[in-house]
Amino acid sequence: MRTQRSHLGLLFLLSSALLAASFAQERKNYVVHLEPREDVSTDSVEEWHRSFLPEATLDSASDDGPRIIHSYSHVLNGFAARLTDAEAESLRNKEGCLRLYPEEFLPLATTHSPGFLGLHLGKDSFWSRSGFGRGVVIGLLDTGILPSHPSFGDAGLPPPPKKWKGTCEFRSIGAGGCNNKVIGARAFGSAAINNTAPPVDDAGHGTHTASTAAGNFVQNADVRGNAHGTASGMAPHAHLAIYKVCARSRCSIMDIIAGLDAAVKDGVDVLSFSISATDGAQFNYDLIAVATFKAMEHGIFVSAAAGNDGPVVGTIRNGAPWMLTVAAGTMDRAIRTTVRLGNGQEFDGESLFQPRNNTAGRQLPLVFPGRNGDPDARDCSTLVEAEVSGKVVLCESRSIGEHVEQGQMVSAYGGAGMILMNKAAEGYTTFADAHVLPASHVSYAAGSKIAAYIKSTPKPTATITFRGTVMGSSPAPSVAFFSSRGPNKASPGILKPDITGPGMNILAAWAPSEMHPEFADDVSLTFFMESGTSMSTPHLSGIAAIIKSLHPSWSPAAIKSAIMTSSNVADHAGVPIKDEQYRRASFYSMGAGYVNPSRAVDPGMVYDLSTNEYIAYLCGLGLGDDGVKEIVGRRIACAKLKAITEAELNYPSLVVKLLSQPITVRRTVTNVGAANSVYTAVVGMPKDVSVVVRPPMLRFSRANEKQSFSVTVRWNGQPAVGGAEGNLKWVSKEHVVRSPIVIPPAKAVA
């Protein structure tokens, strides 16, 4: 017996050793960032990358595919590879290797909007004069598209521009494929698993965002009879280049960098990026920031999602100053529902599900499963059929994307309807979701009153009536609760987000997907509504394409300045834009304001920026020579440069970390309006802040003339603990060029 046990023990030890060895040899994916080398030609880049791997490594890949997954040469010096722990450690210590990044997966930041933004048809409209973005190429990094969708038809579009170098990977899939609208399509890495048609959308997200940016005109668009009208993107005659870097909702950083690398090589003009980058990472540790810096150097405008982690402060994503960071706001269209209680109180809400056979006015029993405090019952995660069957059920909302699932739960337990009420932090932001039963999404204020009514009477009742599409809803626009807030942790002295665009209940092209299984088999459904900074981002991408079409020589910084300085801080009623609580929105929630395309195409003056100015700013952040080198892709000696502070970067907004002493910064503007223009400085700040602008007047005598001015900011008396916000406006007869001024709260400055 003792011998048998010893044999068993030996077998156990051997198997454990083999298992340990197996784990030690397990390969993981990495992005390898290398020192810049100018002596390597494009043709030999991959050979150079292979030289960093041991010979044994190169020959041992048969069981796991190629060891080098991607070679990067345009936005990053480096490659993506499968490595064991030992190989990774060896590579870290090898000369020429800057950093290894383990593979991570980044989340997606997931008809009426052109009209709401002032984009109208007509031969004299600026939209028509721009040719609807004609000749501009928008690159979209997302989940691919459904190419057969009518939004991607090419009626009225010219052939691709001569500079275009991209390719099309669509296979034979029926009516769809590349044309003069979709001029390129590629898939990368895990997003290319489907060999029959790699760039085809399997999530619906990319189809939606691509059509928002540049979908062609499609008449009679609606979603189940709601929001009827002509659908189009912001730049309906711009070209689209599709880079599928996400498989369903998973976006590998390796594939994202490969997509960015290809987009720069192919010759896109605008990049639309509806993916959430790492939260607050130092820029040289943030591969998206590194890659988009090179895109900016190539003259490419980058529009990126601010993220969906609001309303918590400091949650901003994609916060590098060379990107336009886009927040999400509402419009004045609602897919209206009304809840009427047994006591006669009425509360408006929203739902995309608008049943025609619903019996209006019929009161049903109303129940709140969470009235006793059980959190799972409160959001309808747990229900008892006997308590909800045949009743209208009040549920507290879960996170974005789970609202329909809540209704499915209520329906499965026999509920006749659902009232979805916001949590306190969500305020008045409501979604028009595709519910599976009669439902109404109401605000926190309305939900609290409904809950109080249930508690006040032994037999509460309610009914839900459906009113369809309602225009002119107010206040509009406002900032959506989920839109991520500044400041940006990596660089709090640069105001982020930059701008707000439409991101709530956006109607755009639809592709059947696993993300919406309730409609996956509905082939008649060609448009759908989605919400998120994913949706606001392509609005700004398309608007940037319009500006680029009218002003092809403008730099990305000039286009960004035009968008920011022309934006609105007042809503359609002429009062300050509000946040999700209907309080005055701060610049940390909405950026410079809500985008105004009609003014952005003719801004009067712009704040331009060069690569060298960004480098001086990076040196001022204290990243050191090596940290700056990782971002800009070449050796930098910060000691030989004049480093600048964040406030000194020639940005269209101004964050002043003000304590007891006054601070003076300079700005330079370029006249892009009439040759002979005169601008007067107008400052609007709280009375406890003094702002002096010198000179107080700018006189231009020619187009593209540059002039500089200084801004001195000081407290009048004791510093305000809560900080302050205001504006500097340069006003001429034709233009108002506005820059936000933000003094952060004292605790953020200390």
- Mean pLDDT along residues 26-42: 82
44, 45, 73, 438, 632 from 41: Cα distances, Å: 5, 6, 10, 63, 19
Q: Which residue has the higher pLDDT, 366 or 6?
A: 366
Q: Identify the pLDDT of residue 47.
A: 83
The per-residue pLDDT for range 538-563, each reduced to its tens digit, is 999 999 999 999 999 999 999 999 99
* Boundaries of domain holding 138: 128-331+478-600
Helix or strand holding residue 441 (H, E): strand 439-442
- Mean pLDDT along residues 290-316: 97
Residues 414 and 509 in one domain: no
Mean pLDDT, the chain, whole residue set:
88
Q: Identify the pLDDT of residue 696.
A: 98
- Mean pLDDT along residues 203-217: 93
Residue 82 structure tokens: 């499968």
Residues 645 and 660 in one domain: no
Q: Tokens 């402060």 correspond to what residue?
A: 313
The phi-psi region of residue 225 (left if phi > 0; otherwise alpha if psi is between -120 and 50; otherwise beta) is left
Residues 159 and 237 in one domain: yes
In a domain, 431, yes or no: yes
The per-residue pLDDT for range 357-376, each reduced to its tens digit, is 665 568 999 999 988 878 88
Boundary residue ending a domain (461, 492, 513):
461
- Mean pLDDT along residues 551-580: 97
Q: Identify the pLDDT of residue 25.
A: 66
Q: Identify the pLDDT of residue 439.
A: 96
- Mean pLDDT along residues 459-473: 93
- Whole-angstrom distance, CA of residue 324 vs CA of residue 383: 44
The per-residue pLDDT for range 231-269, each reduced to its tens digit, is 889 999 999 999 999 987 789 999 999 999 999 999 999
Residues 175 and 290 in one domain: yes
- Whole-angstrom distance, CA of residue 502 vs CA of residue 238: 20
In a domain, 276, yes or no: yes
- Mean pLDDT along residues 415-428: 97
Residues 629 and 665 in one domain: no
- Whole-angstrom distance, CA of residue 640 vs CA of residue 178: 49
Give me the CATH number covering residue 93: 3.30.70.80
Burial class (CB in 10 A: 0-12, 13-18, 19+), 708: exposed
In a domain, 593, yes or no: yes
Q: Identify the pLDDT of residue 133.
A: 84
Residues 540 and 642 in one domain: no
Share of residues in the chain with pLDDT > 90 (%): 67
Which of the four pLDDT bands, split at 50, 70 and 90, describes residue 340? very high
Residue 54 structure tokens: 């041991």
Q: Is the pLDDT score of 678 beyond 70? A: yes
Helices (H), 331-381: 375-378
Q: Identify the pLDDT of residue 247.
A: 84
Residues 596 and 619 in one domain: no
Q: Which residue has the higher pLDDT, 569 or 129?
A: 569
Which of the four pLDDT bands, split at 50, 70 and 90, describes residue 750? very low
How are beta strands 324-329 and 301-305 bridged, if at all?
parallel
Positions marked active-site: 142, 205, 534
Which of the four pLDDT bands, split at 50, 70 and 90, describes residue 67? confident
The per-residue pLDDT for range 226-237, each reduced to its tens digit, is 766 778 899 999
Q: Identify the pLDDT of residue 197.
A: 54
Residues 99 and 133 in one domain: no
In a domain, 2, yes or no: no
- Mean pLDDT along residues 380-389: 94
Give me the CATH number covering residue 745: 2.60.40.2310
| Contact indicator for 557, 463 with CB cutoff of 8 Å | no
In a domain, 222, yes or no: yes
Which residues neighbour 455 within 8 Å (Cβ) at sequence distance 6 or greater?
371
| Contact indicator for 557, 649 with CB cutoff of 8 Å | no
Which residues neighbour 543 within 8 Å (Cβ) at sequence distance 6 or greater?
117, 234, 235, 501, 563, 595, 597, 600
Residues 37 and 153 in one domain: no
Helix or strand holding residue 340 (H, E): strand 333-341
Beta strands in 35-114 (DSSP E): 68-72, 78-83, 97-102, 105-107
In a domain, 701, yes or no: yes
The per-residue pLDDT for range 590-602, each reduced to its tens digit, is 999 999 999 999 9
Which of the four pLDDT bands, split at 50, 70 and 90, describes residue 10? very low
- Mean pLDDT along residues 507-533: 71
Residues 293 and 378 in one domain: no
Residues 531 and 619 in one domain: no
Boundary residue ending a domain (433, 461, 489):
461
In a domain, 466, yes or no: no
Q: How many other CB atoms are there within 10 angstroms of residue 401's CB atom?
A: 17
Give me the CATH number covering residue 182: 3.40.50.200
Number of domains in the chain: 5
- Whole-angstrom distance, CA of residue 682 vs CA of residue 716: 18
Q: Identify the pLDDT of residue 529.
A: 86
Beta strands in 208-320 (DSSP E): 218-223, 226-231, 239-244, 246-247, 250-252, 270-273, 301-305
The per-residue pLDDT for range 107-125, each reduced to its tens digit, is 887 544 566 666 655 555 6
| Contact indicator for 424, 444 with CB cutoff of 8 Å | yes
Share of residues in the chain with pLDDT > 70 (%): 86
Among 179, 198, 327, 188, CA closest to 263? 188
Q: Identify the pLDDT of residue 732.
A: 97
In a domain, 8, yes or no: no
Q: Which residue has the higher pLDDT, 713 or 62?
A: 713
| Contact indicator for 515, 205 with CB cutoff of 8 Å | yes
- Mean pLDDT along residues 426-445: 95
Which of the four pLDDT bands, split at 50, 70 and 90, describes residue 176? low
Residues 340 and 327 in one domain: no
- Whole-angstrom distance, CA of residue 749 vs CA of residue 742: 12
Q: Is the pLDDT score of 17 beyond 60? A: no
